[in-house]
Amino acid sequence: MSENLNIYPQLPERRDWRIGCIGAGFIMSDCHLPNYTKAGYIPHAVSSRTLESAQVLADKFSIQNVYSSNEELLDDENIEVLDIAVPPQDQLTIIKEAIKREHIKGILAQKPLATNFADAQEIVRLCKDAGKTLVVNQNMRYDHSMRALKTLIEKDELGEMVLGTIDMRAIPHWAPWQEPLGFLSLRIMSIHHLDIARFLFGDPVKVFCSYTKDPRTKFDHEDGICLTTLEFENGARFQINDDVWAGPAREGAAEDCFVRWRVEGTHGLAKGDIGWPKYPVVTPSTLEYSTIKLKDWHKPEWPEAWFPHAFLGPMSELLCALEGKAPGLSGQNNLRTLLLIEACFMSAQEGRLINFKELCKEYGV
């Protein structure tokens, strides 16, 4: 049972928004489109780097319009919403063209929004000036355990926040497009956990980050294993340990991979784990919580998992925004998550605590 913990996204009143899909890789084929079609959303068109891969996706999901270029897709005046699933270095170019089309009302972009903060700011500015609604696909906010935890916090079931932790010991699949960019964990894996810390606790005042290279990853990078501490106005702390090495499991040792989280408040505590390391086995995340009032442990359950079911959330949020509901995953909000990543880089490189509150003022976000 979900125990009325608000674990599912709000759906739009109108389900037949016509969606143009750019990209035909894993995220689009395994995460976006299965959820969209189940919810009754309309994938109207698809384009990809090759016509063949776009056609495979179209055949699988009965998409009627297949285009050999992004420009052709953008010119389709029946498209109202754009769903972009491409590497971050390509998003600015696509969005620059998309905002010129009056028929496109909203854009769902991938995280990270860009490979650097300046380009992300430019994307947000362009969309705002053009009157286009921009939502960023920070899909961990729609993991069911995270939404349930957010509900408990908002209902004051746990009291004032004292300490939060995320301990990840897992080996992600790094994408080939990362290698020429020279970054590894902060913008790809830690971005989920930093955004979740903001989602649950609000914006931190200060941040300290220490990182070292991942021994397994051969291309040059700095941010492999990342250890981050966030400090908040009320004295609370949130600690994030992103261990993408997780021991020599790929080299012959036994595997012990997991993502565990815990949040402690003055009135209660909650803990659980995130199921994605077991994917493609669909594994729901878990939640256990106890409070001074409830005494015992409560363990709500649900059949859905972060991968792939949570990916319905960001698109639903975009469609609801087009109907007048302010999106929590707006481009403007996401700039603070991206600036928090920049603060982590600064902290690790300079070996000091970074005043994030002052950094937000400096960058005007």
Task: Give the CA-trace dihedral at 72, 77, 81, 85, to 10 degrees.
Answer: 0
Task: Judge if 18-137 and 140-307+330-359 fold alike in CATH terms.
Answer: no
Q: How confident is the model at residue 275 (pLDDT cuts 50, 70, 90)?
A: very high
C-alpha to C-alpha distance for 165 and 262, rounded to whole angstroms: 5
**For the chain, which residues make up each domain, given as ranges?**
18-137, 140-307+330-359
What is the per-residue pLDDT for 300? 97
- Smallest CA-to-CA distance from 314 within 330, 303, 302, 325 is with 330
Torsion angle (degrees, nearest 10) of CA 127, 133, 134, 139? 180
Q: Are 82 and 104 in contact (CB under 8 A)?
A: yes
pLDDT for residue 339 is more than 50? yes
Q: Distance from CA of residue 66 to its chain's centroid?
A: 27
Three-state SS at 65: strand
pTM: 0.97
Domain 140-307+330-359 has CATH 3.30.360.10: yes
User: What is the Cα–Cα distance from 80 to 128, expressed in whole angstroms?
Assistant: 17
With a CB cutoff of 8 Å and minimum separation 6, the contacts of 216 are: 171, 244, 245, 250, 251
Radius of gyration of the chain (CA): 20
> What is the CATH superfamily name and number for domain 18-137?
NAD(P)-binding Rossmann-like Domain (3.40.50.720)
Taking 60 as the threshold, does the pLDDT of residue 45 lie above it? yes
Q: What is the pLDDT of residue 295?
A: 87
Helices 144-154, 191-201: axis angle to 10 degrees equals: 20
pLDDT given at position 1: 36
Least confident among 44-48, 165-169, 176-180, 252-256 = 176-180
User: HEC profile for 215-246?
Assistant: CCCCCCCCCCEEEEEEECCCCCEEEEEEECCC
Question: Distance (Å, rounded) from C-alpha 281 to C-alpha 356?
Answer: 38
Distance (Å, whole) CA 2 – CA 8: 9
Q: Is pLDDT of 2 > 60?
A: no
**Cβ proximity of 142 and 311 under 8 Å:** yes
Residue 96: in which H helix or E strand, if any? Answer: helix 91-98
Please provide the average confidence, as pLDDT, over all residues in the chain: 97
Asked if residues 208 and 354 have their Cβ atoms less than 8 Å apart, the reply is yes
Q: What is the mean pLDDT of residues 235-256?
A: 98
pLDDT (0 to 100) of residue 266: 98
Q: Any bridge partners for residue 148, and if so which?
A: none
Q: pLDDT digit string (tens) for 102-116?
A: 999 999 999 999 999
Average pLDDT over residues 230-259: 98
Tens-digit pLDDT profile for residues 113-126: 999 999 999 999 99
